[in-house]
């Protein structure tokens, strides 16, 4: 009988030690971890990479992350850097009341940037290629 009690005590002790030595994150992970798709639901056009947006002028279009775009949604204070990847000169401007500007001619390879400081909509056009139109939606923080 004494041996039986000792065996039970030993078994309990081993169980306690096993639980004590188990890494707690094994238990936590099963509760906390989510599928990776949950963490990346935003579309690229709604993400602000450090407040700077690299937009290329390519094929007589506005191109962001290799895709032609007609609209870009940014946050007030963000800056758009336009890089002319075409073999022709572009000349970007906006006559929108929100924030009119005129960047003037940009040679092939040239980079120009605009910081958008007011919430609203700014239509960016090219004085040389009327078909080039980019609608920039600037959202308040």
Q: Does 129 bind Cu ion (CB under 5 A)?
A: yes
Q: Does 63 bind Cu ion (CB under 5 A)?
A: no
Q: Does 126 bind Cu ion (CB under 5 A)?
A: yes
Long-range contacts of 26-31 (CB under 8 A, 24+ apart): none
What distances in angstroms separate CA 41 from CA 18, 21, 67, 100, one per listed residue?
Answer: 40, 38, 19, 33
Q: Which is nearer to Cu ion, 122 or 126 (CB)?
A: 126
Structure tokens at 5: 């009690």
Q: Does 61 bind Cu ion (CB under 5 A)?
A: no
Report the 10 Å Cβ neighbour count for 54: 15
Q: Does 124 bind Cu ion (CB under 5 A)?
A: no
CB of 57 to Cu ion, least distance (A): 6
Among 45, 63, 76, 128, the residue binding Cu ion under the rule CB under 5 A is 128
Contacts with Cu ion, 70-109, as mask; x by CB under 5 A:
--------------------x-------------------
Strand extents, DSSP E, the chain: 52-58, 61-64, 67-69, 71-75, 79-84, 90-94, 101-106, 111-115, 120-126, 133-139
CB of 115 to Cu ion, least distance (A): 21
Footprint of Cu ion (CB under 5 A): 90, 126, 128-129
């Amino acid at each position: 009988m004494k041996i039986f009690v000792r065996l039970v005590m030993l078994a309990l002790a081993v169980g306690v030690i096993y639980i004590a030595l188990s890494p707690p994150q094994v238990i936590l992970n099963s509760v906390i971890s989510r599928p990776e798709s949950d963490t990346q639901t935003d579309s690229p056009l709604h993400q602000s990479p450090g407040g700077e947006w690299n937009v290329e002028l390519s094929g007589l279009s506005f191109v962001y992350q290799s895709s032609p775009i007609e609209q870009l949604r940014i946050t007030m204070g963000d800056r758009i850097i336009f890089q002319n990847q075409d073999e022709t000169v572009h000349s970007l401007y906006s006559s929108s009341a929100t924030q009119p500007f005129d960047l003037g001619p940009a040679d092939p390879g040239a980079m120009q940037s605009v910081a958008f400081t007011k919430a609203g909509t700014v239509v960016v056009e090219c004085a040389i290629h009327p078909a080039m139109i980019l609608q920039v939606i600037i959202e308040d923080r």
